[in-house]
Amino acid sequence: MKNLKFIFLVLLFSCINIETSNMSEGTEKAYFGGGCFWCMEPPFEVLDGVIEATSGYMGGETENPTYEEVSMGNTGHVEVVEIEFDPNIITYSELLEVFWRNIDPTALNYQFADVGSQYRTEIFTVGSQQMEEALQSKTDLENSGKFDKPIVTAITEAPTFYIAEEYHQDFYKKQSARYQIYAEASGRKGFLKETWGDE
């Protein structure tokens, strides 16, 4: 009898693990550099289908870079957000639309008050499908006539993602007042309102 109970518990635990694993198997990841990562987490985290937005660094030479190293602009990294999402609820193309509407894609090596290559806009794609959709979305934006200047946002294959320090994660929640002041003073909020209005 004890052996039967043991076998039952093992099978039950295995089923639970399988169900949990299947729940996470269906998710995908996307990577966007849009200037300060503090400002890039909020527009994605409110979306249905987005499981989590995580701040980090991509595109540089140094392994396991620190914020201090990246902020000096010497490592080649970009401040990015890693978006884990459920493609059955929200598509990659929809994420791209949110990305374009939260940056100035005509600014080369800066975003609003933040200057340096570490604040450049860049889409890091995972797989050929994301690359195709990202390139098409950039072409669509260029052809829309929304901006008079050229779209300078780069699109490259995703290299290693390095997660940023814990105090950067969900900064807009942890330091709400400080974040609101920064987002306003940087000029980002005003630019996005002027460019997109209530669209």
Which token pair is 106?
């005509």
Is 36 a residue of the active site?
Answer: yes
Q: Are 158 and 124 in contact (CB under 8 A)?
A: yes
Question: Residue 149 is part of which domain span?
Answer: 29-196
- How many CA atoms lie within 13 Å of 115's alpha carbon, on the beta-carbon side? 1
Point out the catalytic residue in the list 30, 34, 35, 36.
36
Asked whether the beta carbons of 46 and 144 are under 8 A apart, the reply is no
DSSP secondary structure code for residue 150 in this structure: P
Q: C-alpha 191: how far from its chain's center?
A: 20
CA 144 remoteness from chain centre:
24
CATH number for the domain that contains residue 67: 3.30.1060.10
**Residue 126 within a domain:** yes
Q: Is 169 helix (H, G, I), strand (E, B) or coil?
A: coil
CB 36 within 8 A of CB 81: no
Classify residue 47: in a domain, yes or no: yes
How many structural domains compose the chain?
1
Q: Environment class of residue 175 by beta-carbon count within 10 Å: exposed (0-12), middle (13-18) or buried (19+)?
A: middle
159 found inside a domain? yes
Q: Is residue 167 part of a domain?
A: yes
| Full pLDDT tens readout for the chain, 199 residues | 444 333 333 333 333 332 333 335 799 999 999 999 999 999 999 999 999 999 999 999 999 999 999 999 989 999 999 999 999 999 999 999 999 999 999 999 999 999 999 999 999 999 999 999 999 999 999 999 999 999 999 999 999 999 998 888 987 787 888 888 888 889 999 999 999 987 6
- Per-residue confidence (pLDDT) for residue 23, from 0 to 100: 39
Helix axes 188-196, 176-185, angle to 10 degrees: 60
**21 falls within a domain:** no
Residue written as token pair 């639970």: 16
Q: According to the model, what pLDDT value does residue 105 have?
A: 98
